[in-house]
Structure 1
Amino acid sequence: MCGRFALQALPNDVREALGLMELDAFPARYNIVPTQPILVVIAGDRQEPGSNRPDRRALLVRWGLTPSWVKDPKEFPLLINARAESAIGKASFRAAMRHRRILVPASGFYEWHRPSKESKGKSQAYWIRPRQGGVIAFAGLMETWSSADGSEVDTGAILTVPANQAIAPIHDRMPVVIAPEDFSRWLDCRSQEPQQVADLMRPAQEDFFEAIPISDRVNKVANMGADLQTPVVPEPLAQPAKKPKPDDGQLSLL
């Protein structure tokens, strides 16, 4: 899954990387958590005359998708992620997959390796970023939820796929990363049906990301500084205790 990520790039770098016409200034964010506003990119309705730049615009949405048909969000689970394998057919995401696909700019994401109960080890946090640096774009979905009084809330979720072999030892899922050459195709909900962009929802190349062990300070929402990404030496994973052989007690008497 993807439950935390960061966007610390300069606004101008994000604008260039995502092909935006304009983008308001925003602060670096090192610990973005569910229910907070996240920056997303959607396809626009027009293209500037004489420009080869596609019409895309940025907006803020609440991280945690709420389908339009939900009556009371308080009684509906928080959908921060959508499984790419089932999103096309699942009721919560079907309409968004067809009509409201988005890009979510990021500098990287956080994940935790959680040892089995038998090993009795400690969870280890990782900062997972592209080896080449820069801004990446997660595949996302968007829905606008309307309340009975007419107020509206734009909401979004990040699509995930089974992790590649490099990330799998840490976690079994990872966010979908859309390559720059596929931005327009992913955002084109007019001529590209969900089945036609299904091939874009795949794990990143094995060497695309690097995973850096970090401290558990990232676990706390109140911690928001750049020091969250400072590397640490991870503790060795605890090994399960060996069970004594049935005859160990007898042999000790010989």
Structure 2
Amino acid sequence: MTVTLITGANKGIGFETAKQLLALGHVVYVGARDAERGEKAAAALGARFVQLDVTEDDSVRDALATIGSAEGRLDVLVHNAGILAAGDVDGPAALRAFDTNAVSIVRVTEAALPLLRRSPNATVVTVSSSMGSFWAVTNPHRPEFGFPLPLYAASKAAATMLTVQYAKSEPGIKFNAVEPGATATDMTAAFGIGRSPEESARVVVRLATLGADGPTGTFQDETGPLNW
């Protein structure tokens, strides 16, 4: 059995990623900050629930301890939790955006590393965004060019860089970042754009199911590596 943890998995891309990985035979832990919503999502999926607030050290440690006690290892970690941070741009908003979208990657990865190192084919996928790509946001032919989302874009650039740096420091574990595509979720409802979470989840699942000889240290979308 492949043991998988997905953060922020009670809805949207995280929920659909859990659904697809369950269909492939994974043991999936739905990580969610809100226990009621997380338990409801896990029950609907036939997954396992673990309370996990990626912005709280104690919550993260407790969640990984729960998985470690039950499973003894972790094979796949999907960093999916995130916020759009589309409101006011100020210090508190910036701290919240970076804590949720970037610092949480450090917090959860560090807690998960002992379990990931026990896996014969450990894989970490960061759901990032081409909004964090310097190439995309400065290219007038790309849709990212027209979206001024400074805190989201900057925090996602940090998320991708953290992924690449972890790939260098942990050569026994595959780390890849993914642009899942514009997706119609609660987070993007104000923009009225995007395809179904089910479609975008397939991009995440592809990187979450890499073989032992799969790539690491990349930033990809459904077509392959992206400039950033």
Higher helix share: 2
Higher strand share: 1
TM-score normalised to structure 1 length = 0.26
Larger radius of gyration: 1
